[in-house]
Chain A
Amino acid sequence: MAHFRDDEARSIILETYGRVCSDGETVARAFYAPEELDTLPRDAVGMSLGVGHPVRHAGLRAGETVLDLGCGAGIDTLLAARAVGPTGRVIGLDMTPEMVERAGWNAAAAAPANVEIRQGLIEEIPLPDASVDVVISNGVLNLSTRKSRVLAEAFRVLRPGGRISITDLVLEEALPEDVLKSPAALAG
């Protein structure tokens, strides 16, 4: 049962992720190797809010086009850009203006010419059909009240033979109702 309407959920996510700040690297250090993090902009590492390492499982190859759904401050976007190299391209998509701005700064600081950051909804991906080789996402699908819609959009923008690699949180046993109704729980 949905505890939040789509617009309510979106508002909570925008507010929570718009104001989040972190100067630590605790989350990133749990999922990424030190040698991966040491060469990335500190802000991208410090603002890592993911729950895994989707790039590790994506099998990215030089020259591929990658879409990072809910790119946040851009840690996976930048790692993907490194993996696909200068002949590849990575598009980071996020609905939160503050995260788009941060990801843009971090992409500029890391200086890969093959990264583009866009603002938009993962439920309405602003890309043409069959235009990317790989979709990645890290801890974002669970934030959407329309998960099937997000996956259908990912399917639409992938080329035939394309791949998706996501890391996310799943609930295998229900939580107490008052927890599920909490906006703070939704945002996490």
Chain B
Amino acid sequence: MLLKKFFNVGFADITVAERAAFGLDDIARYPLFAPDFLEFLRRAIPAERHRELVFSIAVKASKPVAPANLAR
């Protein structure tokens, strides 16, 4: 879905350079979340997903020298 958005605006050479699972323990490292919210996530999300809640990805792409899909 995200890669398609890159393509749709005109980027080329779209590459996923890295992809890694991001779990609840990873999220807990961030000072953005209060302990009660993390506890809410642990309760609301099935335990089998706690290690793979989302994925962190690194995406690279380039702007063509002559835009090929300008019409999109």
- Residue numbers of A with Cβ under 8 A of B are 16-17, 20-22, 24, 26-27, 30, 49, 51-54, 56-58, 141, 147-148, 151-152, 154-155, 158-173, 175-176, 178-179, 182, 184-185, 187-188
Contact = CB atoms under 8 A, between A and B. Distances in A.
Contacts of A166: 58-59
A151 B60 contact: no
Interface of B: 1-2, 5-6, 8-11, 17-18, 22, 26-27, 29-34, 37, 40-41, 44-45, 49, 53-67
Contact of A57 (B54, B60, B63, B64): B60
B49 to A, nearest CB: 7
11 contacts: A20-B32, A27-B30, A49-B31, A53-B58, A158-B63, A160-B66, A162-B62, A162-B63, A173-B49, A176-B44, A176-B45
A83 to B, nearest CB: 15
Contacts of B33: 184, 188
Q: Is the interface of A mostly helix, strand, loop or mixed?
A: mixed
Contact of A151 (B1, B5, B53): B5
A43 to B, nearest CB: 13
Contacts of A22: 31
A160 B32 contact: no
